[in-house]
Amino acid sequence: MSQHKQLVRDAFSRQAEAYANSVVIAADQARREFVDFVAPRPSERVLDVATGPGFLALLFAERAAEATAVDLTEAMLARAVANRAARGLSNVRFVAADAEQLAFAGGSFECATCGSAFHHFSEPALVLREMARVTASGGRIALLDIITSEDTRQAALHNRLERERDPSHVRSLPLSELVRLFEQLGLRRVRTHTYQTRRELGEWFAISHTPATAAERIRAEFVASMPGDRTGLQVQQDGEQVGFMHTFAWIVGVRDG
């Protein structure tokens, strides 16, 4: 296992409880709308990559014939299994797996999804290629993830602060780069949608268990970035509270035969 993958596994083992119990992360309504955007059919088999606590996989399982969900972190998979039991679903299975080496035959699924994880991948193009490989001709590949500014300076500062808060973060991509990855794979009929979610630094730090000294340093940088919106995150301060906007994107493409 690479050093970065071990870092991701360690980070999400620590974060499992806080991540799984976060209403902001679960974002049930937004995820349901994403499922609507992908539009799974009742006969379809769905693969969810880097499923975490299974938030997205369980929603797809409600609409599709069956769902398979993979994750690198056993602690997250344990949460996903518990969530499956609480929902009373029997058509979803959870498997420990590396997103860069999916142990499924080509064309095994009609839909492959990944929610809120692409910014943790050191090789996002490789993961997307694997998702396309295991998707049948005419099937859909769908991503939901945080994106960054198209301005390279804003994006660089944004991603640096994300990494300082959580070292398992690699890079949030701008929407144009995600679309380009889809197009380079020959995916067609690419559709996108973006929206914003307000975050608060205290809530954000609590999920990642960011040490207090690091959190204070990052907070100071967020406040300093406000003139000119240097992060592209629309940072605002209200007394002791500092908030910002995460922009999310949905990208869906169809695999050619």
Domains of the chain, start order = 3-150+167-197+246-254 (3.40.50.150)
Query: pLDDT class for 157, splitting at 50, 70, 90?
Result: very high
HSE toward the beta carbon, residue 128, CA cutoff 13 A: 26
Per residue in 108-145, pLDDT tens?
A: 999 999 999 999 999 999 999 999 999 999 999 999 99
Confidence of residue 169 (pLDDT cuts 50, 70, 90): very high
Percent of the chain with pLDDT over 90: 93
User: Percentage of residues in the chain with pLDDT exceeding 70?
Assistant: 100
Length of the chain: 257
- Pick from 24, 26, 31: nearest CA to 245: 24
- Residue 28 has phi, psi (to 5 degrees) of -55, -45
> CA–CA separation, 67 vs 65, rounded Å?
7
The per-residue DSSP string of 185-205 comes to TT-EEEEEEEEEEEEEHHHHH
User: DSSP letters along the chain, please?
Assistant: --HHHHHHHHHHHHHHHHHHT-HHHH-HHHHHHHHHHH---TT-EEEEES-TTTHHHHHHHTTSSEEEEEES-HHHHHHHHHHHHHHT--SEEEEE--TTS--S-TT-EEEEEEES-GGG-S-HHHHHHHHHHTEEEEEEEEEEEEEE-SSHHHHHHHHHHHHHH-TT---PEEHHHHHHHHHHTT-EEEEEEEEEEEEEHHHHHHHHT--HHHHHHHHHHHHHTTTTTTTSS--EEETTEEEEEEEEEEEEEE---
Nearest to 244 by CA among 162, 143, 123: 162
Is the model's pLDDT at 4 over the cut of 90? no
Q: How far apart are CA 161 and CA 244, in angstroms?
A: 12
pLDDT averaged over the chain?
96
Half-sphere exposure (Cβ direction) of 243: Cα atoms closer than 13 Å: 10
pLDDT at res. 147 = 98
Tokens, residue 153: 């300076």
**Higher pLDDT residue, 24 or 41?**
41
Q: Which two tokens stand for residue 29?
A: 């309504």
